[in-house]
């Protein structure tokens, strides 16, 4: 086998991503705690990774020692504003500590301001269904960014607004568990408004800020490439799912299926495109799937599927995601990518194959500036609880002990050398040597 090495541009950001409710633990003041208590999740978050108890220190040590130069985490609105008329300075101080901790470890911080969870008081007033919420979000952003601006200028306003809306208002698996396309549209428009207001507030406070949205990109292909209906439903679904938010934040028009609203304040409100990519699937037209926008989903035949069958290892879809993102003419940051795999049998090859596509993308001249792997340590996976393990480190939730997985070692080599080599592939995932570095 030929010895080879692919090299990334100097200054490339290598990190992992986490989110407050998934790692902090013990937050009883948000909608997810209530959802867990109502028995709507596979199990409960409990202490999670105990970051609120201080274990962020040891985890960030792990990240820094293994060559990561950046970390993306989120702040919990419910902790910073526990009641509509009360701010918690103590909570802001804790987030300042984390940011200081990142700086001490020479790591760039990216802060997400909304990652799926809402304060209970906000949920009680209808959360993003309520037209007051965009302004309330902007107030929260003003308070938070003013308090944290000394330590970062890289902000994600909202994580995966499409996943949030689909899961909470179409599939009904996130709180409040509704299944209503009209409400979903109202929520989507309010998320766009909230993002636009937040974008302006952040730039008012910090001129040098870089602000974006973490978009979940789902690669979708027609099941039957010759079927006009399959092709039509693929295009309609991809437009509704992938394009709604980035287009609204580009041209100020929120267009979802047959609905369209102008949100002029959202025009040109992204400094970079955040891309979260996990998988690709195929879709066929089905009248019986009206509630799912007439599409029936399949993974490609012979797909390399993850442990619980949620993710197919389809690295070409990642390349497609970056090509799509480059079409918006902004810098690109991969804000999430990863796979659930408690045995770590699949993750090394998933990681290596996706890193190869990342490198291809940089060589196409697309402005890809960094990559955040999801995730650092196993964490609470929303409605699926602890059944899905995304961590480079394994977590024992009873003892809080962490164990380094083989893929953490592979990622360490990638981060430390800013490259991927045939030697690494031979060591960590020899089964794809020929595929990645053919003779």
Residue 36 binds ligand IFM (CB under 6 A): no
- Compute the least distance from the CB of residue 21 to ligand IFM, in Å: 8
99 in Cβ contact with 79 (< 8 Å): no
Which residue's CB is nearer to ligand IFM, number 79 or number 389? 389
Residue 353 binds ligand IFM (CB under 6 A): no
Residue 410 binds ligand IFM (CB under 6 A): no
Residue 276 binds ligand IFM (CB under 6 A): yes
**What is the spatial distance between Cα 426 and Cα 422, in angstroms, rounded to a whole number?**
6
Residue 307 binds ligand IFM (CB under 6 A): no
- Compute the least distance from the CB of residue 169 to ligand IFM, in Å: 17
- Compute the least distance from the CB of residue 276 to ligand IFM, in Å: 5
- Binding test (CB under 6 A) with ligand IFM, winner from 336, 344, 353, 383: 336
* DSSP structure string for 237-261: HHIIIIIHHHHHHHHSEEEETTEEE
Which residue's CB is nearer to ligand IFM, number 177 or number 203? 177
- The whole-angstrom distance between residue 228's C-alpha and the CA centroid of its chain comes to 32
- Compute the least distance from the CB of residue 386 to ligand IFM, in Å: 12
Which residue's CB is nearer to ligand IFM, number 161 or number 222? 161
Give the angle 274-65-314 at the CA atoms, nearest 5°. 40
- Compute the least distance from the CB of residue 1 to ligand IFM, in Å: 34
CA distances from 261 to 131, 168, 255, 388, 407 (A): 14, 21, 7, 38, 45
Which residue's CB is nearer to ligand IFM, number 407 or number 421? 407
- Compute the least distance from the CB of residue 381 to ligand IFM, in Å: 5
Which residue's CB is nearer to ligand IFM, number 34 or number 261? 34
* DSSP structure string for 92-119: HHHHHHHHHHHHHTT-EEEEEEESS--B
- Compute the least distance from the CB of residue 116 to ligand IFM, in Å: 6
- Compute the least distance from the CB of residue 61 to ligand IFM, in Å: 22
Q: Dihedral, CA atoms, 156, 162, 164, 165, nearest 10 degrees?
A: 140
Which residue's CB is nearer to ligand IFM, number 215 or number 223? 215
* DSSP structure string for 384-405: GTTS----SEEE-TTT--EEE-
Give the angle 243-244-247 at the CA atoms, nearest 5°. 70
Residue 41 binds ligand IFM (CB under 6 A): no
**What is the spatial distance between Cα 371 and Cα 352, in angstroms, rounded to a whole number?**
13
**What is the spatial distance between Cα 406 and Cα 412, in angstroms, rounded to a whole number?**
10
One character per residue 182-201, x = contact with ligand IFM (rule: CB under 6 A):
--------------------
Residue 24 binds ligand IFM (CB under 6 A): no
Closest CA to 357 of 327, 394, 325, 329: 325
> How many positions of this chain bind ligand IFM (CB under 6 A)?
8
164 in Cβ contact with 183 (< 8 Å): no
SS3 category, 278: strand
Run of H or E including 192: helix 181-205
Of 376-395, binders to ligand IFM (CB under 6 A) are 381, 390
- Compute the least distance from the CB of residue 154 to ligand IFM, in Å: 18
Residue 111 binds ligand IFM (CB under 6 A): no
- Binding test (CB under 6 A) with ligand IFM, winner from 24, 50, 160, 230: 160
* DSSP structure string for 3-16: --EEEPPTT-EEEE
**What is the spatial distance between Cα 309 and Cα 289, in angstroms, rounded to a whole number?**
21
DSSP single-letter state for residue 105: T
Residue 434 φ/ψ, nearest 5 degrees: -65, -35
- Binding test (CB under 6 A) with ligand IFM, winner from 13, 19, 109, 187: 19
Which residue's CB is nearer to ligand IFM, number 272 or number 374? 374
Minimal CB distance residue for ligand IFM:
19
Residue 351 binds ligand IFM (CB under 6 A): no
379 in Cβ contact with 23 (< 8 Å): yes
- Compute the least distance from the CB of residue 218 to ligand IFM, in Å: 11
Which residue's CB is nearer to ligand IFM, number 278 or number 294? 278
Residues that bind ligand IFM (CB under 6 A): 19, 22, 160, 276, 336, 374, 381, 390
């Amino acid at each position: 086998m030929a010895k080879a090495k692919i090299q990334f541009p100097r200054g490339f950001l290598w990190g992992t991503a986490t989110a407050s409710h998934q790692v902090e633990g013990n937050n009883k003041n948000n909608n997810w705690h209530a959802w867990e208590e109502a028995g709507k999740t596979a199990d409960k978050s409990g202490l999670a990774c105990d970051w609120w108890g201080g274990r962020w220190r040891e985890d960030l040590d792990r990240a820094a020692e293994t060559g990561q130069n950046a970390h993306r985490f989120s702040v919990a609105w419910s902790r910073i504003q526990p009641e509509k008329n009360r701010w918690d300075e103590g909570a802001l101080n804790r987030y300042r500590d984390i940011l200081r901790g990142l700086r001490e470890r020479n790591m760039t911080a990216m802060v997400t301001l909304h990652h799926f969870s809402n304060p209970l008081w906000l949920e009680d007033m209808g959360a993003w269904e309520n037209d007051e919420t965009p302004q309330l979000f902007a107030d929260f952003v003003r308070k938070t960014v003013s308090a944290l601006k000394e330590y970062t200028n890289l902000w994600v306003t909202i994580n995966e607004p499409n996943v949030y809306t689909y899961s909470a208002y179409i599939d009904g698996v996130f709180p409040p568990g509704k299944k209503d396309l009209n409400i979903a549209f109202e929520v989507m428009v309010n998320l766009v408004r909230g993002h636009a207001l937040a974008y302006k507030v952040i730039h008012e406070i910090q001129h040098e800020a870089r602000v974006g949205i973490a978009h979940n990109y789902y690669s979708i292909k027609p099941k039957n490439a010759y079927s006009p209906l399959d092709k039509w439903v693929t295009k309609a679904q991809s437009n509704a799912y992938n394009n709604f938010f980035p287009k609204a934040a580009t041209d100020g028009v929120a267009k979802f299926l047959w609905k369209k609203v102008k949100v002029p304040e959202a025009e040109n409100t992204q400094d970079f495109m955040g891309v979260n990519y996990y998988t690709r699937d195929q879709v066929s037209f089905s009248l019986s799937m009206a509630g799912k926008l007439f599409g029936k989903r399949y993974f490609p035949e012979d797909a390399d599927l993850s442990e619980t069958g949620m993710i197919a290892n389809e690295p070409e879809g990642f390349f497609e995601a970056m090509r799509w993102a480059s079409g918006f003419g902004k810098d690109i940051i991969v804000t999430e990518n990863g796979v659930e795999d408690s045995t770590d049998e699949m993750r090394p090859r998933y990681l290596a194959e996706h890193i190869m596509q990342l490198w291809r993308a940089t060589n196409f001249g697309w402005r890809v500036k960094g990559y955040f792997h999801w995730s650092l340590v196993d964490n609470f996976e929303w409605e699926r609880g602890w059944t899905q393990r995304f961590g480079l480190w394994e977590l024992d939730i009873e003892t809080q002990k962490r164990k380094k997985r083989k893929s953490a070692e592979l990622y360490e080599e990638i981060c430390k050398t800013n490259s991927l080599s045939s030697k690494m592939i031979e060591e960590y995932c020899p089964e794809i040597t020929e595929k990645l570095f053919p003779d």
